[in-house]
Chain A
């Protein structure tokens, strides 16, 4: 024991001799899943690229402001995310938080409600339609309601809502099959399959509402004549290894409809799945293992389009179908980001890298705005960042795009007191009144072990209505 103690003391002395250097600057906390069911390592890299570029732009403009990104693993676990958000804000003085999924961001939002933290939180993998909807009422959950209704504006996102996704999903099914009646039994039956948490429920609710609109013209023929039905199925919001997908697959492929209770004897035509990447990939594995020609088709929501899915499924990803936002915006802003990312890391951006880059950039530009002409890393408050975030995309402001040059222009304009309009790597960051943005959508297909865009794009920016420009089905 004495030897052990001596060694430990020696080791401690050696370790203490060098110490860890602490980088100084305004801290942005990045609560991003790196090991959980919705993880994508490159999201942190995208945010780090943003920080490096903004710092370079600030340096070249003679600003003394400097940013530091502190990544922390949300594990897509609300409880852990809360602990780590507290550590980032109260322990490490983060002035703003990046976050990932709906459930994580909502959990952090509860801390704001409880006055345990007071910073702007902006997420990038949080497509739940209800998440930023002040009109939405969570039964028995007044906390989130109040956070959503916080007049100061506390929650923001750089991703699209599930509402337009639902319309696009139906349109893609129409493209794929010509008719949604995939098994040609004269009856359209859809399975809406989500994770049993905020995102999954919101997506399924979006699909239900969209179905009512999309099939409005069919009402007399299908609804009234009982030729259309859907079923809601939710899997446990748990790690992929703990979910019984085989049982779910049975529910999703049999003729029964349990939820909402509906008498029916038809086979389903399509499963539309909205869950986290790991769960969606694991379900896909089960679906393939039990493959049966009579199985319904399978369409995924955007979370499926992650490299972790490719890693899990390998060649099993081929022929999968889904819808997602564009990997990068289809303009110069997207191109500059893609080039910079490729140059920095040696590979092309993955899905949502652009959204996380935009997340970090807008928070930092908001800090620069909040700091004014003489802002420093020390004199910008969390409240100032929160208040300035919508001003990063001011209508009529000078356009700014990703990349050091674009960000330098933005910094210069801000310090000159001019308004800016940041046009992001993932699309315009034009926040609506609720702190949400719009993007374009596309269909993706698994080909050769990767996802590629197929089919036409859906411009949910230009078509800002709820249907994203998708036309309802017309009854024959």
Chain B
């Protein structure tokens, strides 16, 4: 069955539960053509599996995240980085955290439970997770709503189903709503189209000398009308043996805040992420496209390095997140398309979620609440207008019901007259609703006949969150393709984000200090306002040759009212921070030939903070809080088809990272930076290894990460900075069918 031509250029941004995922399904014929082209290139002597970058792909590789519709990367009105599945495999990356950690302008700090993601000088802060960034699967926002964070480990999605990851830097609230604050990440999954296909695999890894195992499987079936797929992954990783290092002067090992910090190693430090994902899609020609997808993300990690719970060897965080979405697109003729979406998600702590306070085994604590149910609906229409313009209008509504976090204290020992097992509720069960109504419009195209290579775009979006003032987001962009090789883009935008449910309502009760307490759970706090960003960016892509491209970006972003948990006395409460401005630049090289491929990216930003911590007041090369002053990433792949193997070397050189507000305070208001470091990873992957015949590829990956075994610390809170794992070995074996 043929897909109507109008659908092949259709993508509808459906915000919270966008159906932009359908792009890939809509683009299936195109994918089939690419496969055909790949087959032709193979017959012409090129190597299968090689990255076939040429000027066309360097400039015009399709991306969808920047506008919600398929568009060439060079013209997309956002700074978009893409990682194709082949690249992911060559680099040996198996989690979203690893991908983001190697993306210029982003920085991941792993607290061994939920990594946090900073963007362009803006650190996530305590319990930040991925709150600054909207993370989607096929255009559907998938995150744990109480904290507005995605799980970045392998619990997020079985990585074998990933076709491409797009990372659009810059504010995109005007398109997606509140959480597309500083960047948007979109995972595009594979879709089977040629009968039965799948993969079974297993992996082993050695971290700090501890062995861990995992397995994954996926199976799918598809044809022109129909795609169905399910995948599952399950891993066990043991990080035990990590030690905290003294990183600032005021860490007094004899002090109450630091008891037991520096004289022991992490124990039982296992994480057992599980992930389930399923997709069902029907393409019914003129009757439209229906897509159903969903998944379960199960986070299960021993938490040795959390504020107030350091090296207890028993704290364990278990969270589950379930989600599902449905979307339907219908086209009326060539000039109008309508779509509707709906979805739900829910999550909360699982059985076995249990925390201990540092150096106090007398009590354990369970997290009550911290659970939610969310429903999202949306509708949108896209219209072709005269003058080569496309108009999209739509609206969406989100309703979240949150059970507020509070703790139950359980006696683990007899204390006085109280027997072990006695439970004491340290808070009050409460439920709070968060809703948001958004309407938006996007107008873009090539309206000037005299300048057919000029692309213009404008977005505007109005949001009405129930607990805060109405918000207006906007974006405008210009892109001009000077020639086949050179494109320049200029875009401005404003985005916003409201506080998370935890930031608003969380109650204390986990021990007596270093609690995270919601703004509205503590009387006498300044009212928390949404945070906002206004950003401007100039980006240029130059294809120097058919095998080499240069990307550059200069940006300015102005953060206002940044929301962050700050330490006030002995606890953490969210506050709107003072103004933060950033001027930064990114420069990258990408290249590929039939045998070699590689990239190199560098980024640096100047920071201006209007706070007492930085008395200078002007822009300067200062390591921002919890973000590197500068980074340099690089990778090179050599393909050795004669040996059925590719060799990949990636490196990261990371500049100093500024201390968190908490540790700055605990260091008697004295700034300090975590030292620079460099890490290198070596990965060997099999190349077109088909011992069981054509179509049955055996995929082998052997990776040594952090080859030099460099130990460094990452910014954290509550009196310590995070240790990192040293040299790690990873081996995986998978068989496709």
Contact = CB atoms under 8 A, between A and B. Distances in A.
Interface of A: 3-4, 7-8, 10-11, 14-15, 17-23, 34-35, 39-41, 48, 71-73, 84, 238-242, 246-247, 249-250, 278, 281-282, 285, 289-290, 306-308, 310-316, 345-348, 350, 448-450
Given A289-B424, A311-B515, A238 B416 contact: no
Interface string B236-269: 0000000000000000000111000000000000
B257 A307 contact: no
A347 B568 contact: no
19 contacts: A3-B653, A4-B678, A11-B675, A15-B673, A18-B621, A35-B257, A35-B569, A73-B666, A239-B255, A241-B360, A250-B416, A278-B570, A308-B570, A311-B508, A312-B515, A314-B426, A315-B427, A347-B524, A348-B524
Given A14-B630, A73-B668, A282-B512, A450 B655 contact: no
A7 B655 contact: yes
Contacts of B673: 11, 15
Contacts of A448: 523
A146 B476 CA distance: 72
Given A17-B621, A307-B569, A350-B524, A312 B512 contact: yes
Contact of B569 (A19, A239, A242, A311): A311
Contacts of A84: 668
B573 interface: yes
A20 B617 CA distance: 9
A156 B676 CA distance: 47
A314 B622 contact: no
B615 A239 contact: no
B512 A285 contact: yes
B655 A10 contact: yes
A8 B512 contact: no
**What is the interface of chain B mostly: helix, strand, loop, or mixed?**
loop
Given A18-B616, A347-B524, A72 B669 contact: yes
Contacts of B568: 41, 307-308, 311
Contact of A11 (B409, B417, B676): B676
A356 to B, nearest CB: 14
B623 interface: yes
Contact of B621 (A14, A39, A72, A249): A14
Contact of B512 (A7, A241, A290, A450): A241
B526 to A, nearest CB: 3
Interface residues of B, number: 61
Contacts of B359: 241
**What is the interface of chain A mostly: helix, strand, loop, or mixed?**
helix
Contacts, number: 157
B525 interface: yes
Contacts of A290: 416-418
B525 to A, nearest CB: 6
Interface of B: 255-257, 357, 359-360, 406, 409, 415-418, 424, 426-428, 507-509, 511-513, 515, 517, 521-527, 567-571, 573, 612, 614-617, 620-623, 629-630, 653, 655-656, 665-666, 668-669, 673, 675-678, 710
B300 to A, nearest CB: 28
B281 to A, nearest CB: 48
Contacts of A246: 415-416
B524 A310 contact: yes
Contact of A4 (B507, B622, B676): B676
A84 B670 CA distance: 12
Contacts of A39: 569-570
A71 B678 CA distance: 36
A114 B45 CA distance: 87
B360 A314 contact: no
A250 B343 CA distance: 55
Given A312-B512, A312-B571, A315-B428, A20 B524 contact: no
Nearest to A23: B615
- Which 9 pairs from chain A and chain B are nearest by CB? A18-B620, A239-B256, A346-B526, A450-B523, A7-B676, A39-B569, A308-B569, A14-B621, A311-B571
B623 A15 contact: yes
Given A11-B629, A240-B513, A19 B570 contact: no
A239 to B, nearest CB: 3
